[in-house]
Amino acid sequence: MFTPPFILSIAGGGSTYTPGIVKSLMVRLQDFPLAEIRLYDIDEARQNTIAPVVEKVIRDHSQRIKFTVTSDPEVAFSGAHFVFAQMRVGQYKMREQDEKIPLRHGVVGQETCGPGGLAYGLRTILPMVELIDLVDRYAHEKAWIVNYSNPAAIVAEGVRRLRPNARVLNICDMPVAAMRNMGAILGVDRHKLEVDYFGLNHFGWFTRVLVDGEDKLPELRKHIAKFGLLTEDAAKTDPQHSDPSWVKTWRNIKPIMDNFPEYLPNPYLQYYLMPNQIVAHQNPDYTRANEVMDGREKKLFAAAEEYKRTGILPDAFHVGVHGEFIVDVARSLAFNLRSRHLVMVENRGAITNLPYDAVVEVPAYITSEGPEPIRIGQVPLFHQTLLQQQLASEQLLVEATIEGSYEKALQAFTLNRTVPTMEHAKAILDEMIEANRDYWPALQKAWQDGE
Ligand code: G6P
Ligand code: MN
């Protein structure tokens, strides 16, 4: 363990999430003392746009914290204790492609699920490994990378294969966002909930929701049967995911639980269990990436502009579970608090009927040496089978990336539940290869004509 105050670097400093994360850090300074915050991004211009907003957030709380903005990895990571990673390789422009290419073939177009997630994985694994190596070279030897970079399941598997000893903790805010909604429905603070959960990232189920030792899942089931996983007043429940498409997503917990009421699904299961409805509601010319570019991103850039002109910073970003969660996890790592959080971790028998080496998402106690998962035991055949298939798709994608294998990429696409046929898989993959020329490793066919 290292002694506070800490040096913290944010890799992907130009993200729209950076101000919210930094705000969360500022309100927790007593619990998580910081000497310096460094923003690091390879897109200097974008980071320079966001940086004054971040600086203002810091200065509203502290004059002492040193603030550094850099594109130089040595400056960014030297002596750092924590690195919060949130890279988006190819930015929203490429997210748009991930969503639109599958949709043109009548297949779910999504950032982390289906072909879009696989494409994003092929872009992100190797840059993530580069980041790990830079942190390894420059940062404190016990530094922790807390990683939000998507597609988190694939990134985590890639890191496990390529850098098995790296001190990286892969996290996602979706379970905790779901818990916030549960709390709102039950009328209790989300910190009062203790949940059991099993699955992969963006692919899992809550099996128990305890409040003071009592399982509230039956009460939630009744509510969800009417409203989905939202209070009646949707906007109040979730300021971060309040766009209409997110409201729809939370509502879709209802049709899933109407059919499978036993457990409460991660919202992302809608893409695998009801892809037809999803595609029917998606506009192939205007997807979530467009919504985000025209919404969250534009609003923040406009606020940065206005702040530069007037010195007044308009209200332009959310402070919510996304920022709170990463700070909670980092605190537990820093001070060996052993707090219980849902994180990604190598299975190692936690789920007895999934492979030993699978990266799973389960509750774990976060110690200064990393997560200690709780024991889940055996999961039902239905869930196990869904998980195995998804895991295989993601693992093949990782192998495709590492080996530069076209066949394995095609297998990954074909195995994904969102993709109906081999022909769909191939057509989408081939278009994506074109669109990702600047980002993907070259994929070779082992059995090419004439070889
Ligand atoms: C949730 C997920 C993230 C994902 C985000 C997308 O928070 O956990 O993994 O990136 O939603 O939200 P957006 O507003 O960009 O569609
Ligand atoms: Mn996530």
Mean of pLDDT values over 144-164: 98
Residue 238 has pLDDT above 70, yes or no: no
Q: Which atom from ligand 1 is nearest to the alpha carbon of 241?
A: 14
CB atoms within 10 A of CB 246: 18
Protein residue with least CA distance to atom 6, ligand 1: 111
Q: What is the pLDDT of residues 297-334, one digit of tens each?
A: 999 999 999 999 999 999 998 889 999 999 999 999 99
Region of residue 450 (left: phi > 0; alpha: psi -120 to 50; beta: else): left
Name the percent of the chain lying above pLDDT 70.
98
Ligand that comes closest to the CA of residue 92? 1
Q: What separation in Å is there between the alpha carbon of 113 and the centre of ligand 2?
A: 11
The CA 48 to ligand 2 mean position distance, Å, reads 26
- Nearest protein Cα to ligand 1, atom 10: 150
CA of 196 to the centre of ligand 2 (A): 18
Alpha helices in 105-233 (DSSP H): 114-138, 152-162, 174-186, 217-227
Is residue 182 in contact with ligand 1, taking CB distance under 6 Å?
no
Q: Does pTM surpass 0.95?
A: yes
1 — pLDDT class (breaks 50, 70, 90): confident
Residue 235 has pLDDT above 80, yes or no: no
CB atoms near residue 330 (< 10 Å): 23
pLDDT at 148: 98
Say if residues 41 and 12 touch (Cβ distance below 8 Å): yes
Ligand that comes closest to the CA of residue 201: 2
Nearest protein Cα to ligand 1, atom 16: 288
pLDDT of residue 2: 87
Tell me the best of 87, 98, 111, 290 to mutate to test the pocket of ligand 1, counting ligand atoms within 8 Å of each CB and taking the most: 111
Q: Is the CB of 150 under 6 A from ligand 1?
A: yes
Quote the crossing angle between the two packed helices 114-138 and 91-104, to the nearest 10°. 150
- Between the CA of 151 and the centroid of ligand 2 the distance, in Å, is 8
Pick the ligand that lies closest to the CA of residue 86.
1
Q: Which atom of ligand 1 is least distant from the CA of 173? A: 8
**Dist CA 94 CA 43 (whole Å):** 15
Comparing 244-248, 259-263, 300-304, which segment has the lowest mean pLDDT?
244-248
Across 384-408, average pLDDT: 98
Q: What is the pLDDT of residue 450?
A: 56
What amino acid positions are annotated as catalytic residues?
Answer: 173, 268
Binned at pLDDT 50, 70 and 90, residue 447 comes out as confident
pLDDT score of 234: 72
User: Would you state the pLDDT for residue 25?
Assistant: 98
Structural tokens at position 49: 């746009």
User: What ipTM does this complex have?
Assistant: 0.99
Q: Please tell me what DSSP assigns to residue 375.
A: P
Across 130-157, average pLDDT: 98
In this prediction, residue 449 carries a pLDDT of 65
Give the pLDDT score at 69: 98
173 lines ligand 1 (CB under 6 A): yes
Atom of ligand 1 lying closest to residue 243 CA: 14
Residue 435 predicted with pLDDT over 60: yes
pLDDT digits (tens, 9 = 90+) for 52-91: 999 999 999 999 999 999 999 999 999 999 999 999 999 9
- Residue ID of nearest Cα to ligand 1 atom 13: 292
Q: Which atom of ligand 1 is nearest to the CA of 152?
A: 9
A 10 A CB-CB count for 345 gives 23
Write the single-letter amino acid at 410.
L
> How many other C-beta atoms are found inside a 10 Å radius of the C-beta of residue 35?
14
Token reading at 103? 């949709």
Tens of pLDDT, residue by residue over 332-358, are: 999 999 999 999 999 999 999 999 999
Task: Assess whether the C-beta atom of 99 lies below 6 angstroms from ligand 1.
Answer: no
pLDDT of residue 285: 97
**How many whole angstroms from 175 Cα to the centroid of ligand 2?**
8
Q: How far is the CA of 148 from the centre of ligand 1 (A)?
A: 10
CA distance 362 to 359: 10
**For 207-224, what is the mean pLDDT?**
98
Ligand 1 atom with least separation from CA of 202: 8
DSSP string, 55-96: HHHHHTT-SSSEEEEES-HHHHHTT-SEEEE---TTHHHHHH
